[in-house]
Structure formats: C-alpha cells, structure tokens
Structure 1
Amino acid sequence: MKNRIRMAAALGAVAALGVAGFALAQAQAPAPSIQDGIAEYREMLADGNPAELYMMKGEELWRTARGPRNASLERCDLGKGPGVIKGAFVELPRFFADTGRVQDLESRILTCMQTLQGIDTDREVSSRGYLRGETANVVAMATWVASESKGMRFNVPQAHQAERTMYELGKRAFFWRAGTHDFSCATCHGVDGKRIRLQELPNLTGNPGDGVGFAAWPAYRVSNGQMWSMQHRLHDCFRQMRWPEPKFASDVTIALSVYMGVNAKGAASAIPTIKR
C-alpha cells in the first residue's frame, strides 16, 4: 500500500513538472500580435482580389470609343504625354498647363472624357453616384490606370508654384478642425499607433504610414463589396467627420491628395489593394 502511495506521488510530481515545463515554454514563446493576425487576414483576402474585375472593365472602357465624339481615351495625357499610362499614377496629382489646374487621377480622367469624348461629366459624374453610370466608370478606369504603375515609387511633383500652393492648402485642410465633432483629418491620422477597434489608422503625415494609407487606393472594400478610389475614400472621411460633402474632384480633395501624395514619396504603389 505504501509503495502504491509513493508511486502515485512520484507520477504526480512528474506530471506537475511536465505541466510547469509546458507553461514555461508557452510563456517564453512569442505570442502572435494583433498586427500579425491582421496581416494574415489581409493576405487571405488578397487571394483572388475582386478589384481585378474592375481593372478589366476599366481597361475596356479606356480603349472603347464612346460619347458624342465616339472616341476612346487612348490619347489622354495623364502627365507623361498622350497615351502614356505606365508611371503616370505615382506622379499624380500634378499641374496641367491645358487646364491651368493641379489635378489628381480622377479629375484628369474627367478632363479627357470631356475633351476627347465630349461627355458632360459635370452632369454625369457626382459624389453620390459611385456605383452608377459614368461615376462608376471613372472609378474602374482609375483602378486600371493605377494598376499599371504597381510597384513603382511615388514621386508627386512640387516643381510648379501651383503644386506647392496646393500642398500647403492640403496641409492646412488636413489639420483644420471643424464640424459638429470638432474633427480634423489629423484627429485620426496625425500620429503613430492609433486604431479604431482592430483597424489601424496610419499616420498620413509621412512614411511609412502614408505608404499604406494614400498609396493603397484605389482599393476593394470587402465590408460593402465596392471599389473605392481616393476621391471616394476622402468623401467618406468627410462624412465621418460630419463635414459638408465636397463636390467630386473638388479642389479641397485634390489639395489633400497633393499633401498626402508628397508625404508618400518613395513608397511603392500596391494598387489594387483590398481593404476590410
């Protein structure tokens, strides 16, 4: 009987040592971080990105003769000469002499639709029609154009005085507090380490945050099954801050894009991306 008691005690001690050793190993092993989990989630989402369908639609629209003038956009000048697509996206917004304006990708596409195809974009394109008609077409074409610069580094120009002025205007708009909630863009995107629930809020005042913020749009939004361009993203930020809704491709949205685009200098474009 005594031998049985001693044997049970010995086995209990061995089991206790095993549990302690396992617990120690668990404590010493690095626990997966929230960021690791989010990165794995995004990697799984990226497998079969629906944005590819929008890219295909955008390229087809770009090359198809449409509008009152029955013309394609293949002669559209996005800043690198008529018809040159590759590398144009990472150098936008920029100043265009023919319009006398600093334009981002979407507003430049509108200009080409007007001048080459004769489409009345003032009537056909609006900030509330992202899933309909010509507004949806602009988003699809912007997605394709942007994808042609994938992997290239952002280098938004500041050579022209108008470009430098828009940068300063964009910076002021970024830090301007207004609305019923006294919010600014910087409230969420002005410092490192902020998040809403599990959603990180990149610091858009410089890299690397701006490289995963500004440089990640157009993107496919899984939560609502929509393709969003930067104009769409900015409009939703205005909505969340309870600010007045801006006009599609308005100067304030372009100025904000100039500010963020210059801050993203050197970041590689990953378009098209996929977002939660």
Structure 2
Amino acid sequence: MKKRLTLAALAIVAAFTAPAAMAEGSAADGIAQYRAMLAEGNPSELWELAGEDIWKEKRGPKQASLEQCDLGKGPGVVKGASAALPRYFKDTGRVQDLESRLMSCMETLQGIAPENFVKGKWGKGEMEKMEQIVAYVVGQSRDMKVNVDMSAPQMKKMYALGKEAFFYRAGPMDFACATCHGQDDKRIRLQDLPNLTKHEGAAAGWGSWPAYRVSNGQFWTMQHRLNDCYRQQRFPEPIYGSDVTIALSVYMAKTANGGTVMTPGIKR
C-alpha cells in the first residue's frame, strides 16, 4: 500500500510540474521530462509484481501454473523471451506474439478457454490477469536488444501481411496506420509520432510498449494499443489474438530489430 501511494504521489507531482517544464523548452522536451520524472516510479511495477504471482499460481480447471509455458526459450524461461517475439511456434503451427502465445499456454496447461479473452474486456477478469502477466514477462527483457528471428517462411508471410495492413487505407476517414506513423516529424496534439517505417522510429515505438498510460491509469498491452489505433481510425476493432494484430507486430518488431527493449514503458 505504501508503494502504491508513493507511485500515485509521483504521478500527481509530475502532472503539475510538466506544464512548467514545457514552458522552458519545446513541447517534445517537456513530455520527455514528464516521462523521466515518472520513470523511476513507473506504476507498471505494480502490474509486474502481480503478474509474477499469477505466472506461478495454480489456476484454471487443470489447476496448473504457467511455469511450463514455452515462450520460445524453453519451458518456463521468461528472461529475454519477449525480446524475441513474435515468432513461429511449431506446436501451434502459427506465428504468435506474446499475448496469443500466453493464450495458448493458458488453454493447454491450465484449461482456460480463449473465449475469456476474445469476449473479455480490457482490465477485467482474465483480461486483467493477462495484462499483469504481460507486464511481468516484458519486464524480463528490459534493456535487452530486440531480436526477432525472421528466417521462418511463416514469419516472412506475416511481415508482408503486416506491411500491407500498415499502409491499408479505408474507413470513413480514409486512414491507415501510415497516416500517423509513416513519415518523419508528425505530431498529434503535443505528442511526437514515431515513424514506424524506419528503424529509429520502430525501435522507439515497439521498444516502449506495453506501457502504463498516465492519462487513464491503465496498463496497456500491445494488442490493446493496436486495437485503439483501429478505433481512432474508425475501423472495427480486431478480435483479440487475431492475425492482423500479430502481423502488424511482426512488421514493427522486424523493423525495430537491434533496438533496445524499454518495456514496460510509460506514456501520457
């Protein structure tokens, strides 16, 4: 409880001091200072701690933990696992990102049905537990290099699909992901938008999600972030664990290869 109050206090202090910081420099500099003030007390730590407990907890109809879940480094190995995801898994015959792989592990090891997530709501029930586990796992790759193996033919196909989806324009506003993230020096409100078609921008974008969002006090996974991008484009939101979100993740991760993992990040 004491730690929770300390983190909340840091968030309040930063929220009031950020405008002053912006006045002394550019808007981008001000936001960077705002994030830096929160970084040491990133509330994502609370999700990480909860996620570690859930990873080890015996749950579901089979009353098993996730400690035998293979995220690509061997059963139970979480160190460095998310830095190498998405990847092709022979046992499922699919390219999977962290969240879809965790869904497979929960179903196989614990008997927790995918419907809990496909029909779930962000921050509620099993979905909340998924978010906490994600925070724990990505934290185990912090400061490592993004190292996604693109050698499998299935990965190449997903990359091509992700690139197509990234540039696909449609909907009532004729938007694509590239509308906001396909050029340098673009901004929405005071927020600089990374150019995800280039290594530097992809490393900054892919490398800092999942993240805690100060504006709504929630921890967002990468699939949550992508769904919100579709919502802002006025597209129907993808089904949780769908190939389109995984394909977009492959596209970003491959472009970010060699960048530094900064997750869990902290966002406005």
- What is the RMSD computed on CA atoms of the aligned residues? 1.1
Cα shift readout 1:67-117 (whole Å, capped 9, x = no counterpart): 111100000000111111111101100000010000000000000000000
1:64 is aligned to 2:57: yes
Greater Rg, structure 1 or structure 2?
A: 1
Following superposition, the deviation at residue 127 of structure 1 comes to 6.4
Change (3 A) 1:129 1:170: same
Opposite residue 185 of structure 1, the aligned amino acid is C
Following superposition, the deviation at residue 128 of structure 1 comes to 5.4
Deviating 4+ runs (over 4 angstroms): none
Aligned partners of 2:58, 2:97: CA distance in 1, in Å? 23
> Mapping of 1:32-181 within 5 angstroms?
32-122=25-115, 124-126=116-118, 129-181=121-173
> Mapping of 1:5-16 within 5 angstroms?
none
User: Could you tell me which residue of structure 1 aligns to residue 8 of structure 2?
Assistant: none
User: Could you tell me which residue of structure 1 aligns to residue 7 of structure 2?
Assistant: none
- Structure 1 stretch displaced more, 144-153 or 124-133: 124-133
Q: Work out whether residues 83 and 141 of structure 2, in 8 Å CA contact, stay in contact via their aligned partners in 1.
A: yes
Q: Equivalent residue of 2:219, what SS?
A: strand
Aligned partners of 1:270, 1:61: CA distance in 2, in Å? 22
Following superposition, the deviation at residue 49 of structure 1 comes to 1.1
Cα shift readout 1:110-157 (whole Å, capped 9, x = no counterpart): 0000000011122x1136511101111111101110000000000111
Aligned partners of 1:129, 1:32: CA distance in 2, in Å? 39
User: Could you tell me which residue of structure 2 aligns to residue 182 of structure 1?
Assistant: 174
Q: Work out whether residues 102 and 162 of structure 1, in 8 Å CA contact, stay in contact via their aligned partners in 2.
A: yes
User: Could you tell me which residue of structure 1 aligns to residue 21 of structure 2?
Assistant: none
Q: Equivalent residue of 2:207, what SS?
A: helix
Q: Work out whether residues 145 and 257 of structure 2, in 8 Å CA contact, stay in contact via their aligned partners in 1.
A: yes
Q: Work out whether residues 126 and 135 of structure 1, in 8 Å CA contact, stay in contact via their aligned partners in 2.
A: no
Aligned partners of 1:99, 1:243: CA distance in 2, in Å? 29
The number of residue pairs the alignment matches comes to 245
